[in-house]
Each structure stands twice: as C-alpha cells, then as structure tokens.
Amino acid sequence: MIAVIDYDAGNLTSVSRALTHIEVENAVTSDRDIIAAADRIIFPGVGAAGSAMKSLVRLGLDQVIRQAVADGKPVLGICLGTQIILGFSRENQTPCLGIVDGTVASFSEVFAASGIKGLKIPHMGWNRIQMKIAHPVFAGIDESDEFYFVHGFFPQPKDEAQVLATTDYGIDFPSVIGSGNLVATQFHPEKSGPPGLMMLKNFSRWQPC
C-alpha cells in the first residue's frame, strides 16, 4: 500500500485518483501509524513552502518522512513535496526537512541575476526532461515525453549526482532529484497523462537496492 501524505497542502486527491486508475492500492492520510506501516510513500503538495512546513511539523509528519527515508522505504516527492525535502527554500525563507542537502531556488531571482527576460513565472505547462542518470522509475519514458509543471521555485541539490534529470526553462534546472530509495519530481506525474501514469506504476513496483 502507498501512503499519500496529507498535510493540508493542496489537492491530494488527484494523486490518489491516478493511483487508483492504475490499480495501485493507496490511502491519503496524515495518520503517522498508517504512514509508518505503508510499503511506500508519496509526498505531494501544492502551495507555499512556509505554510507547508508549519503543517508538517504541527502534524508530526516531518519526523515520519525522515524516518521513512532512513528506513529505506521507497519515497516519491512531487512538486512542493520535492522542494521541502531539501534543506532550505528561498520561498518565504523557509528551513525545510534537509533530507537532501541543498536549497530551493527561485526562478525570478535566478532570471534577474542572469539577465533572462520574457519568461513567465510560474513555469506552467508541458515540458521535457533530460535524464542524466538512468533510473528504474523512469523505465519506458522517452526523451520526447512531456510532463506537466506548475512552479515558481526549483530544487538545487548540492551534490550534482543527485540531479537525475533537468528541464530547460531559460536555464537547465533540476526537474528530478534523488538518491537511494528517494526519487522526487518537480512536475506532476498525476497530471502528465500516460507517461506520468507509467512513472507512478514504475514507482509502485520499484525495489531500490
């Protein structure tokens, strides 16, 4: 069973609906015991880093997620969930979980610093990913496949080896990160049509070594 972590961060039912559609047993929950008992965890989220971190701490879920990663359980981060895994977010200057060393950068700050003009923020719509490292969760995904993004911030792991894929939006930003039993996407697989569903299916079977 996959536990989809519910921490008052946006519409989580879409992740659950996508899993149900591909016949993967799942529960949307903030119950620590259910999460601890789950085989795998999806950590989704839409919204702002500041309020999301507050909710996580209030529900005691920050420790639950750290523990799941430490236990070697397959964990999939999505969008805001992916960002919160890092150490610090430029959004609301928020200290985050620190499971992956690094920061969450802002497109507007990066664009301003590098003189990139004319690109709308958020980065909203369909874009491709360039795999840096082959990964079982992305088996069968082609480089021409596109995924649905909507975000103004992006993850920047300190260790380049944790960048599994990048996406081009003015800059090549990390769009899939992870290591070991953790994989995390900046895009929304649950809203990305058949390639997104395939990725979720792959995750539901993934046995990290």
Partner 1 sequence: MLSKRIIPCLDVHAGRTTKGVKFKNNVDIGDPVEMARMYYEGGADELVFYDITASHENRDIMIDVVRRVAETIFIPFSVGGGIRTLEDMRQVLLAGAEKVSVNSAAVRNPDIIARGAAAFGSQCIVLGMDVKKVEKSEKIPSGYEIVINGGRQYMGMDALAWALEAQALGAGEICLNSIDADGTKDGYELTLTELIATRVNIPVIASGGAGTPVHLKDVLTAGKADAALIASMVHYGTYTVAGIKQYLADQGVRVRQTW
Catalytic residue numbers read 79, 188, 190
The H or E element containing residue 125 is strand 123-128
In angstroms and rounded to an integer, the radius of gyration of the C-alpha atoms of the chain is 16
Strands 146-151 and 75-78, how do they pair? Answer: unpaired
The CB-of-1 to partner 1 minimum distance in angstroms stands at 20
Cβ proximity of 165 and 157 under 8 Å? no
Which region among 42-50, 96-104, 155-163, 177-185 touches partner 1 (by CB under 8 A)? 42-50
Paired strand residues for 42: 4, 76
Scanning residues 58 to 117, which ones bind partner 1 (CB under 8 A)?
none
Cβ proximity of 105 and 111 under 8 Å? no
Q: Rule CB under 8 A: choose which of 107, 154, 169, 173 binds partner 1.
A: 169
Nearer to partner 1, 46 or 59 (CB): 46
Terminal-to-terminal C-alpha distance of the chain: 19
Nearer to partner 1, 100 or 199 (CB): 199
Nearest 5°: the CA angle 85, 97, 89 is 70
Q: Rule CB under 8 A: choose which of 175, 192, 202, 204 binds partner 1.
A: 192
Contact between 2 and partner 1 by CB under 8 A: the answer reads no
The CB-of-6 to partner 1 minimum distance in angstroms stands at 13
* CA–centroid distance for 95 within its chain: 17
Q: Rule CB under 8 A: choose which of 50, 197, 206, 208 binds partner 1.
A: 197
Residues that bind partner 1 in the complex, under the rule CB under 8 A = 10-11, 13-14, 17-18, 20-21, 46-48, 120-127, 142, 144-146, 148, 150, 168-169, 190-197
